[in-house]
Structure 1
Amino acid sequence: MIILYKQNEIYFEVSGAGKPVVLLHGFLENRTMWNDLIEEFSNEYQFINIDLFGHGKTGKVGYIHSMEQMAEAVNLVLQKLNINMATFLGHSMGGYVALAFAEHFPDKTEKLLLINSTAEADNEERKKNRDRAKRLIKQNKEAFVSMAIKNLFAEETKETFPEEIKKMVSEAKDIPTENIIASIEGLKNRKDRTEILKNYSGKKILLAGKHDPVVPFESVEKLSAETNSELITFPNGHMSWLENKKDFFKVLEELLK
């Protein structure tokens, strides 16, 4: 299905029946990352699975893909479907979008499940790394994409999922350079939403990898304590939904109820 956001097409799919759950993928991912999850739980929940700006079948929307604008687009999707409240499941960048949604549309946010994500803004070192990434993409997008995706996994799981990594790399290589750069700008300039998470009164859960190379586990532990958010841990990297799929599904079975 398609909606228009400022004359740009936003692609999404709806499947299953039951309480609505919005699925928000991460940077260099797309809606297909959730296929196994949807298959597992589609008899119990209605999934709204969205390709965020510049990813999958959704094109570039401006020179910067801000979390706020993506949250607005998500709201338009819910309006089109006449959904007044939903649970949000966001991986990495998708978690940032979910938090932006909770800030602007708290009455529509039933639960926040943030996977390998954080409420914190980029620090200065991280912003410099984002700028370096933009330069690398312009020089050799394919090399950057391949390296970036492999580096999301813990060292011990990189060799465990060769076909999944190959598929992710292949899909990410199809993302136009300008789309990737617009998303990096949005990530780099996103605001700190620690207070938003702290003040959010609904159920809020942080799902973290103990060896996450992108979102350090120690920082998530600290955030959990500061914001009174439940913390659930997995043993591997930034891709808990894949690296620890069996345990991840078992946890979701309880959290989504």
Structure 2
Amino acid sequence: MQNFISYKNSKIAYLDVGKGTTIVLLHGFLENATMWNGVVKELSKTNRVICIDLLGHGKSDCIGYVHTMNDMAEAVKEILNFLRLRKFYIIGHSMGGYVSLAFAEKYLKNIKGLCLLNSSAQADSEERKELRTRVGEMAKKNYSNLVRMSISNLFLTETKAIFTSEIAQIKKEALQTSVQGYIAATKGMQLRENKEAVLQTIPKRLIIAGENDPVTHFNSILKEAKRTKTSLIKLSGGHMSHIEDKDELIASLKKFIKG
């Protein structure tokens, strides 16, 4: 059952399931809490799992025309304060990983462990920033097609045929994100800074990466893991490990939380 709090006169949605060690799951760009359904089903058997719709995504409102990663992290903190949660694990997928690091920079004492899933502590390259500017303009003109194309590009050609129904559902969920939410998050990601130094302050940290991820690129993540002395788990798929490598992902997360 989805719950809501009021934050800056806006509605923020979250899910609270299970009992035990608290795990906070943060979705990626154009996703929402539903991306974690399969993961929640397993982790909530022995843990308390909190899934949050980040600003402008799912059933959470926008609070402005730019949602920085820090803005999103503060909304997450508001929910965790409301639930009176002091210590927890955070697992962030893609953009959710950026939000996790923004959270850790301010609230390190609250974090038991942090996992970047198909994500990175690096800032956008100049090329990536330019791309975000272009797609932000495209969103104003042909939003539906842009969203559908963006989701398709997250999957490898060989896996698109395997996960047809899952991709269709992801596109449906992605279109819950408004044009304002899309642009606000895009600008926020564009503005973020390198957080490798922050990642290194987290005693228990993990990166889970897809060997064929078309977004973060495995070789870049491998170098990042070495630079930051962060444990790295390589999965065989691409950017959507919760679908392409779901069983291996769940097993890795369970081990991380118990270890």
TM range (shorter): over 0.9
CA contact (8 A) 2:57 2:178 kept: no
The aligned residue for residue 194 of structure 1 is 196
Give CA-to-partner distance per residue, 1:138-172, whole Å, 9 cap, x none. Answer: 12111111110011112221111010100111121
The aligned residue for residue 64 of structure 2 is 62
**Counterparts of 1:88 and 1:56, CA distance in 2:** 19
The aligned residue for residue 246 of structure 1 is 247
CA contact (8 A) 1:91 1:114 kept: yes
Matched residue of 2:140: which SS? helix
Cα separation, partners in 2 of 1:174 and 1:71, compared to 1, 3 Å: closer
2:212 corresponds to which letter in structure 1? H
What does 1:1-257 align with in structure 2 at a 5 Å threshold? 1-200=3-202, 202-257=203-258
Identical columns (%): 42
Post-superposition offset of 1:26: 0.3
2:116 corresponds to which letter in structure 1? L
**Counterparts of 1:248 and 1:229, CA distance in 2:** 17
1:94 corresponds to which letter in structure 2? G
Post-superposition offset of 1:99: 0.6
- Unaligned stretches of 5+ in structure 1? none
Paired residues in the alignment total 256
**Counterparts of 1:78 and 1:137, CA distance in 2:** 32
- Unaligned stretches of 5+ in structure 2? none
CA contact (8 A) 1:12 1:50 kept: yes
CA contact (8 A) 2:26 2:91 kept: yes
Q: CA RMSD in A?
A: 1.0
**Counterparts of 2:45 and 2:200, CA distance in 1:** 33
CA contact (8 A) 1:22 1:47 kept: yes
List, as ranges, runs of 4+ consecutive aligned residues in structure 1 with deviation greater than 6 Å.
Answer: none
TM-score (norm 1): 0.97
Give CA-to-partner distance per residue, 1:49-103, whole Å, 9 cap, x none. Answer: 1000001110111111111111111111111111111000110000001111111
**Counterparts of 1:69 and 1:135, CA distance in 2:** 22
